[in-house]
């Protein structure tokens, strides 16, 4: 016997990784619970709000970080579940069932990750104050409180909203702020997209990531990550679980409209560590320069001679400094950088081993196989199969 079929509308901007993962979680609830729902989502992924009161749907799950959506749904006679950021003040929550990402825990994870690297100076790159970015204000408040509790100061920069006509101005102001920070410093960016601004600005002004400035973003957005030469460490939010919990709340609400409103707070999943926070407190400026060059170019097949040419000192001098700071040779560092890249790429099941060998800077697939056999005692395919 099938349950009654219901039409459900999702109001999200699926061009954003956060929203896409929430939608995926909703889909998982549909599959696992076997609810009989027809789900409507705009084909171009935007959330349109025309004539909400006339919609012939039984329930709505919506992005309540968007005040336009929140205002449009106020007072509608349709069960609504909101999804968005958490708030310290209970009065800031909407008067509907609500699923929230735990902003405080998101920032705490990023902060503790930077602290674990031995960093003692911190900064935060946020958003200008805006009603649609209240979640960013909550994250800013969290990092200030965390730093104060440990006796640290935290430099705050909200920057500017980015538009094509003001992009260069915004980046220039960001670069100026970065120049004022003491090094080394760990910066938490309010999102991965904003973290990419930091990576670009550091590249333009010659600040070495992560040795001078370590950066951690939020969202683990593959688009933002792949648009930068330095791979970005990032906090993975519990968006998938948020979508699942939102669908569960809506299901209950449809079955029993008299249920009291409920707030479900979902913690982050964890920190994905990549190059941007691979901080090891290097002191030697020549080694810092070499490491920066290696991180950016190892997978282009560079040799030790090219590292020496970039730094501008003799091989014996740099090798001695390298062994003192890193505990191994320049050649080993090049080898390790390519191997780490290959291992990370093997997590992508859509890439062939041939493509990975080329992307990691190996001269051939056979050469990468030989490296893996020597280092791990198994082939790249065997390594991938265990992931």
- The pLDDT assigned to 48 comes to 63
pTM of the model: 0.79
* Strand 59-63, strand 80-85: pairing: parallel
b/e code 295-327 from CB counts within 10 Å (16+ = b): bbbbbeebebeebbeebeeeeeebbebbeebbe
Three-state secondary-structure class, residue 187 = strand
pLDDT tens, 130-186?
988 999 999 999 999 999 999 999 999 999 988 889 999 999 999 999 999 999 999
Domains and CATH numbers, the chain: 6-101+238-269 (3.40.50.2300), 103-236+273-277 (3.40.50.2300), 285-385 (1.10.10.60)
Cβ neighbors of 269 (< 8 A, separation 6 or more) are 236, 237, 238
**372 phi, psi to nearest 5 deg:** -65, -40
Structure tokens belonging to residue 198: 């930091």
Three-state secondary-structure class, residue 166 = helix
Three-state secondary-structure class, residue 89 = coil
pLDDT tens, 84-127?
999 999 999 999 999 999 999 999 999 999 999 989 999 999 99
* Strand 213-218, strand 233-236: pairing: parallel
pLDDT of the chain along its 387 residues, tens only?
345 678 899 999 887 888 999 999 999 999 998 888 989 887 665 556 767 766 778 899 999 998 888 988 888 888 999 999 999 999 999 999 999 999 999 999 999 999 999 899 999 999 999 988 999 999 999 999 999 999 999 999 999 988 889 999 999 999 999 999 999 999 999 999 999 999 999 999 999 899 899 999 999 987 766 677 788 999 999 999 999 999 999 999 998 887 788 999 999 999 999 989 988 767 788 998 898 899 889 999 999 999 999 999 999 999 999 999 888 999 999 999 999 999 989 988 889 999 999 999 999 999 999 999 999 999 999 999 988
Of 147, 129, 58, 142, the residue nearest 101 (C-alpha): 142
Whole-angstrom Cα distance, residue 293 to residue 312?
Answer: 12
* Strand 270-272, strand 233-236: pairing: antiparallel
Q: Are 322 and 362 in contact (CB under 8 A)?
A: no
């Amino acid at each position: 016997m099938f349950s009654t079929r219901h039409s459900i509308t999702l109001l999200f901007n699926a061009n954003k990784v956060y929203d896409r993962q929430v939608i995926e979680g909703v889909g998982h609830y549909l599959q696992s619970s076997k609810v009989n729902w027809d789900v409507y989502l705009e084909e171009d992924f935007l959330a349109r709000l025309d004539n909400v009161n006339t919609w012939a749907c039984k329930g709505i799950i919506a992005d309540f970080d968007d005040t336009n959506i929140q205002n449009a749904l106020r007072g509608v006679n349709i069960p609504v579940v909101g999804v968005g950021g958490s708030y310290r003040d209970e009065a800031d929550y909407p008067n509907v069932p609500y699923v929230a990402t735990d902003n405080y825990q998101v920032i705490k994870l990023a902060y503790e990750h930077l602290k674990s690297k031995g960093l003692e100076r911190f900064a935060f790159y946020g958003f200008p104050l805006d009603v649609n970015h209240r979640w960013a204000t909550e994250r800013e408040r969290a990092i200030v409180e965390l730093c104060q509790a440990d006796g640290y100061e935290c430099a705050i920069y909200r920057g500017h909203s980015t538009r094509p006509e003001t992009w260069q101005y915004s980046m220039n102001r960001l670069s100026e702020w970065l120049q004022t920070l003491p090094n080394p410093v760990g910066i938490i960016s309010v999102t991965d997209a904003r973290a990419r601004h930091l990576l670009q600005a550091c590249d333009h002004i010659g600040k070495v990531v992560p040795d001078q400035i370590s950066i951690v973003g939020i969202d683990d957005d593959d688009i933002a990550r792949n648009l930068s030469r330095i791979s970005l460490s990032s906090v993975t939010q519990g968006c998938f679980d948020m979508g699942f919990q939102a669908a569960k709340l809506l299901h209950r609400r449809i079955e029993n409209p008299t249920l009291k409103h409920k707030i479900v707070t979902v913690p982050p999943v964890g920190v994905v560590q990549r190059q941007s926070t691979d901080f090891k407190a290097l002191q030697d400026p020549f080694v810092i320069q070499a490491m920066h060059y290696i991180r950016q170019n190892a997978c282009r097949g560079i040799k030790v001679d090219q590292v020496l040419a970039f730094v501008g000192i003799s091989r014996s001098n740099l090798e001695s400094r390298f062994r003192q700071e890193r505990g191994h040779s320049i050649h080993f560092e090049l080898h390790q950088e390519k191997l780490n890249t290959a291992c990370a790429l093997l997590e992508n099941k859509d890439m062939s081993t041939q493509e990975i060998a080329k992307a990691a800077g190996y001269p051939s697939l056979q050469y990468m196989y030989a490296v893996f056999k020597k280092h791990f005692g198994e082939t790249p395919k065997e390594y991938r199969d265990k992931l």
